[in-house]
Amino acid sequence: MWSSDKPPRSDSMRRRIITSILYCSGDMTQLHKHMQKQPFPVQLVEWSLRGVARVILANNPLSGALILGALLMASPWQALLGVLGLLASTLTAIIIGQDSEEVAGGLHGFNGMLVALLIGVFSSAGDWYWWLLLPVCLTAATCTFLFSGLAPLLDRWDLPVSVFPFNMMILMYLSCTGTDNAFFPHHPALPPGAPEHSNSTQLDISQLLQGVPLGVGQIYACGELWPSVLILAAVFIYSPLLCAHALLGSGVGMLAGLSVAVRPSSLYSGLSGFNGALGCMAVGGLFFTFSWRTHLFSIASAFLSAYSDIALSNLLGKMGLPACSWAATLTATLMLLLTARNLSSYRIPIDRVASPEQNLRAHSHWTGGNTDSTDV
């Protein structure tokens, strides 16, 4: 629309800048249309970059590229594993004949990428242990099967599959190979409630503050500050609203962790924040139209995600397993199921979900008719 009307000459430059910014932000549907005429490898790159961004609920190839850069900066080996997982699951989806529109949206990439990243993080065999490529490819491919199988189950209630396949596969991989496996050894996960031997009982405020952006980085299993900031910037490109909720949720997760006295290292590393961030982002803007009500609701969702994560981590930690993003996934699914009038009226049907800003704009067009989408 905005590209068709002719601007007066003086504003031309400013308008062009705004135009290109608008072009790069949000879902970049224009690029998507443009890409459909390109050869397959070029298209695959776009699909994969969208898949990278999908992990953090964004749907923008530019964000994906930025995040990939951040991962490369943090650890090239991890970035390699991630890309391999991404490709393995996307190609599996193409081979078994998943819906091509879904594949093009990167929906069959992010689970594979996440499982590959986590396999890399938990491996105790060190970087560049090439045998790891085998389980990475296999588990990533299996994620596509799980995605395809869970879709008809969740579809009945208009729920997204989100990261259920990743969460299942990483638990399966880690419990299949034990901690002292001969071929694929890995570190056991440490529950957040485990006691820690440290000299000071004082919490370090600056490290706590660092934990907030790190919580966003931990969504990609990345525990370094600058890559985390870059990831935040990538989310900002997609949607400033989503970026704000990511930070807010991570902060809420930290508060939740403080309130039940989890071990300090869990707070400092951002591990206690990333579920809160995901839970907050899903509700605040993405699956619900933004308003002050959904804003409060997203804070509640962040708290619930964070507390559930501590509970699940303590439970699974007894068997040496991590809770990954089970807590945020389950909480977001619960929130999408809510039938309470004051919240469900803001619910956006899954097939209409776009970036929060676009959701806001689109809201006025269909308000009224679709309030009962959850209780079909």
Under the rule (CB under 8 A), what is the footprint of a copy of itself? 93, 95-99, 138, 142, 145-146, 148-153, 155-157, 171-173, 175-178, 181-184, 193, 259-261, 300, 303-304, 307-308, 310-312, 314-315, 318-319, 333-335, 337-343, 374-375
What is the spatial distance between Cα 87 and Cα 119, in angstroms, rounded to a whole number? 16
Nearest 5°: the CA angle 225, 188, 307 is 65
**Which residue bears the tokens 């890559």?**
227
Q: Which residues does 371 contact at the CB level (< 8 Å), separation at least 6?
A: 344, 345, 347
The crossing angle, in degrees rounded to 10, of helices 326-337 and 164-176 is 150
What is the spatial distance between Cα 327 and Cα 306, in angstroms, rounded to a whole number? 7
Which tokens in the block code for residue 362? 């689109």
Minimum CB distance to a copy of itself smaller for 30 or for 179 = 179
Q: How far is the CB of 303 from a copy of itself (least distance, A)?
A: 8
Minimum CB distance to a copy of itself smaller for 47 or for 173 = 173
Minimum CB distance to a copy of itself smaller for 79 or for 143 = 143
Minimum CB distance to a copy of itself smaller for 29 or for 339 = 339
Q: How far is the CB of 95 from a copy of itself (least distance, A)?
A: 7
Which tokens in the block code for residue 299? 């804070």
Minimum CB distance to a copy of itself smaller for 75 or for 305 = 305
Among residues 21, 31, 63, the alpha carbon closest in space to that of 232 is found at 63
Q: Which amino acid is at 165?
A: P
Q: How far is the CB of 184 from a copy of itself (least distance, A)?
A: 7
Minimum CB distance to a copy of itself smaller for 146 or for 232 = 146
DSSP letter, residue 289: -
Minimum CB distance to a copy of itself smaller for 11 or for 372 = 372
Phi, psi of 324 (to 5 degrees): 45, -135
Q: How far is the CB of 144 from a copy of itself (least distance, A)?
A: 8
Among residues 236, 243, 213, 209, the alpha carbon closest in space to that of 225 is found at 213
Q: How far is the CB of 167 from a copy of itself (least distance, A)?
A: 13
Minimum CB distance to a copy of itself smaller for 20 or for 339 = 339
Is 245 in contact with 285 (CB distance < 8 Å)?
yes
Minimum CB distance to a copy of itself smaller for 228 or for 272 = 272
**How many whole angstroms from its chain centre is CA 184?**
26
3-state secondary structure of 123: strand
Q: How far is the CB of 275 from a copy of itself (least distance, A)?
A: 12
Q: Which amino acid is at 209?
A: L
What is the DSSP annotation of 303-321? Answer: HHHHHHHHHHHHHHHTTT-
Q: How far is the CB of 110 from a copy of itself (least distance, A)?
A: 18
Q: How far is the CB of 260 from a copy of itself (least distance, A)?
A: 5
The crossing angle, in degrees rounded to 10, of helices 76-96 and 110-122 is 140
Q: How far is the CB of 311 from a copy of itself (least distance, A)?
A: 4
3-state secondary structure of 360: helix
